[in-house]
Structures are given as C-alpha cells and as structure tokens.
Structure 1
Amino acid sequence: MKKAVSSFSCEKNLDVEKFIREDAINREKRDLTRTYLIIDQNEFEINNQIDIVAYFSIALKTLIIPQTLSNSKIKKIDGFSKDAKESIVYLIGQLARDDNYSSEAIRGADILARALNIISDIKDKIGGKVVLVECEDKKKIIDFYLENEFERLPEHSENELINEIKEIIELREEITSPIINAINEIIAIHDEKRINDYAKFIKFI
C-alpha cells in the first residue's frame, strides 16, 4: 500500500499528490478525514498489485456562510434560521485521478459520484444535507462542478474588501504615503493567510 500511495502522481495539482503521499494516513489515524481509493481492478486480479487509479477524501467542516447570500439561501443551508452564520457540512477535500490513467479509465464525474454516494449513505444515518468543495479558481475546474449541479458561493466579504483596496491602490501608484504603505503591508499579510484561496461550491443532497 505504501508503494501505491507514494507512486500516485498528479502534476496538475501537486496539493492532491502531497495529500495522499504525506497527509492522508495521518489524518485517517486522527479521525479527521476518510480517504477512499479507487484501484486498478485488472492489475490487482492479474498481478496482485495495487495501483491507485483515483482517490477522494471526505471530512466534516464548518462552513462560514457568506452573508451576501439571500435569506432564503442561508435558511436552506442552515435548515432553520435565515440569520445563521455557520453550518457543519460534508467536505470533499481532495478528488483526483492519477496521471497514468485517462478519463477512459474513469471520468471525473464518476469519481465525484462515488464520493456523493458515500455522503448520501452517511446522511441517511446521521443527517446533514450540504456538500462543500473547494477548488482552484480555474475555468475548467469551475465548469466541472457547475456541470455536476454544484453552485458557487460568493467570495468572502473580507476578500472582496481587500480586492477593492488593491484596485484603488493600483490606480494610484504614485501615492507612497505611510498610510498606503501600511495598507500594502496588511494586504501582504492577508495574501499569506488568505481566507478563501479557493472557489467554494455547495450541493444539496
């Protein structure tokens, strides 16, 4: 198993490669995440070898509900209150296919469907109804989740404010006052500890 995990390759997203190689087992032992492997069945049956075709991880997470959402949407996420500020949701934290396998081996939609099936089974036992994914803000990935009936959440209000400040400063590059310098330092700190590096999508199940 260690060989299979260490051999997993995903050059387009090194974070998912790092997760399965370095973090998955530790998070499993700590009961923080469950990671599910999809293996090459033929390779296993013929050569008794485990090759990971794809994998995904599932966890629970507290979703900070964007207050720019409508009252009805906030109430739908929370299940009760339109004034809710946060909600416990199911997080599909990682979802990836090994570079050695194409979409002909397994489509991204099929990997996602397996994750959603497991979450649906958990939901029947303990409740819950919202699935969250966080992904890179890239068109191809965003289109993938939209095509699979996820809806994008608005960006966090703090990020929106920082982005607006950036735009103002860029239009006034000649300003070098101590105040502007201080604001630039705040922006630098924010970018290092960004609240919402990824696009967030939710799906009701």
Structure 2
Amino acid sequence: MALKIISLNDLLQTQREEDIIKLLSSFETIKIKYNPGADDVEHFIHTKAIQFEKMDLSRTYLIMSSYQAKPYLAGYFSISNRPLVIPKRQFQKLSKSLQKRLMGFGHKTQQATYEIKGFLLGQLGKNYNHIAQKAGNVSGEDLLELTYKKILEAHRIVGGRILYLECEHYDKIKDFYIRNGFRQLEEYESENGLCMMVKQIQHLKED
C-alpha cells in the first residue's frame, strides 16, 4: 500500500485539534531495553509535536497508510532548519584530521564554535501499535527516504550542507543510520551524552 506524507501544520489549519491529538496518540514505540530514546520518540509526538509546530520550532510530517481499507498512522518524522554547532571545547577534542574535514563544510564563529549549515532530523519513528504491526508495510528505510524528499525540497530553497541527528549510544540504532549512509562523529558527544550522526546533503540525492 502506498505511503502518504501529511504535514502536521496543514492538519492544524484544516482539522479539529482534538481529532489530531487522537491520531497522534495512536502512535506507539517499540520498547527496547537500555534505550530510553525510543520513549522520547513517543513522548514527542504525544505531547510536543503540536506545540513545536505552533512555535515554528520544527515541522512534523505524518506517514499515513491503510490496512483493511482504513487509514492509520504508520510513522512520522520531525525536521528543523538548524545548523550543527559544535562548542569550542568539543571541537578541540576531535582529531586533527576530523577537524580539517569538518572545516571544509563549515566555519568557526566569532565565539570560536564550529558551525555547519544544515538540517536537524529531530525525530524519526515507526508506529508499533497493533494495527501498524498487522499491516507491516513500512520500514525505517521507507521513513528515511520520505525524510530525504522533504529535506531536498527545503535545500533547494534555503541551501545547507548536511543532515544530522543525535542518538543514544545504542548499537542497533547507530548501525541503522550507518547502514543508511550516515557517519558518526566518533570523538563527539553532546551535553546530553548523545552521539552525532551526519550525512551530506549531496549524498541524499544519490540514494
């Protein structure tokens, strides 16, 4: 069954908010031991997505499909036009070779931080409620491909060099992104203890 992308922002302009909340509440993540990030994906769409949309902090897109002729929420992703900023103390911890490579994509600011123009993939989630599991017609790779389409649309308008995200130090999640062409900044760790995954925009066009 074909997948359809629906903008949460468009829904808020045309549908009752209580109906939208009901739809978003149908999203359930898979429970993975030692991976609190999975709960964050569910918490965001249940409690923050609408607020972030209204505040223009990010844009959330719902992936809709159907099962037995009835529509259901198959997954979602949330993106924002936000540069990757690495604090000076973090940048200095990177290897000299990595610093040199990164300088080819961005620049140092007056505050001596390192900045690359790009897009943040804030959330990417596949629905694991009972209907979605019965349907079984969407994969993580499908969600990424749909994300890339929206990123490339935005890139044509505002530019940017990279798509990046932060994730837990959980091998299964990191392996998923590496398998799909992301590179981990191995010497980098955010203040929240998360690792950084990066992919060049030009490589999205090759996928």
Q: Same fold (TM over 0.5)?
A: yes
Matched, 1:120 2:152: yes
Q: Percent of aligned positions with the same letter in both sequences?
A: 34
The structural deviation recorded for 1:42 is 4.5
Moved over 4 A (4+): none
- 1:57 counterpart residue number: 78
The corresponding residue for 2:193 is: 197
**Equivalent AA in structure 1 for residue 40 of structure 2:** D
SS at match of 1:61: coil
Number of aligned residues: 164
Q: What is the alpha-carbon distance in structure 1 between the residues aligned to residue 39 and residue 66 of structure 2? A: 25
Among candidates 152, 175, 196, match of residue 184 of structure 2: 152
Return 5+ residue gaps in structure 2 as ranges.
Answer: 1-19, 32-37, 202-207
**Which residue is equivalent to 1:108?**
140
Q: Secondary structure at the match of 1:38?
A: strand
Tell me if structure 2 keeps the 8 A contact 1:155–1:196.
Answer: no
**Are 2:22 and 1:3 aligned?**
yes
2:57 corresponds in structure 1 to 32
Unaligned stretches of 5+ residues in structure 1: 160-193
2:150 maps to 1:98: no
Distance 2:168 2:29 in 1: 14
Helix, strand or coil at the partner of 1:128? coil
State the match for 1:129 in structure 2: 161
Greater shift, 85-94 or 13-22, is seen at 85-94
Tell me the CA shift for residue 84 of structure 1.
Answer: 6.5
Tell me the amino acid that sits aligned with residue 198 of structure 2: I
- Is 1:22 aligned with 2:44? no
1:113 is displaced (CA, Å) by: 1.2
RMSD: 2.4
- Which of 85-94 and 138-147 deviates more? 85-94
Between stretches 90-99 and 102-111, larger displacement belongs to 102-111
Task: Measure the CA separation in 1 of the matches of 2:160 and 2:61.
Answer: 20
DSSP 3-state at the match of 2:117: strand
Contact (CA 8 Å) 1:75, 1:84: kept in 2 or not? no
For residues 63-78 of structure 1, the aligned pairs below 5 Å read 63-65=84-86, 66-67=91-92, 68-69=94-95, 70=97, 71-78=99-106
Given the two structures, how large is their TM-score scaled by the length of structure 1?
Answer: 0.71
Greater share of residues in helix: 1
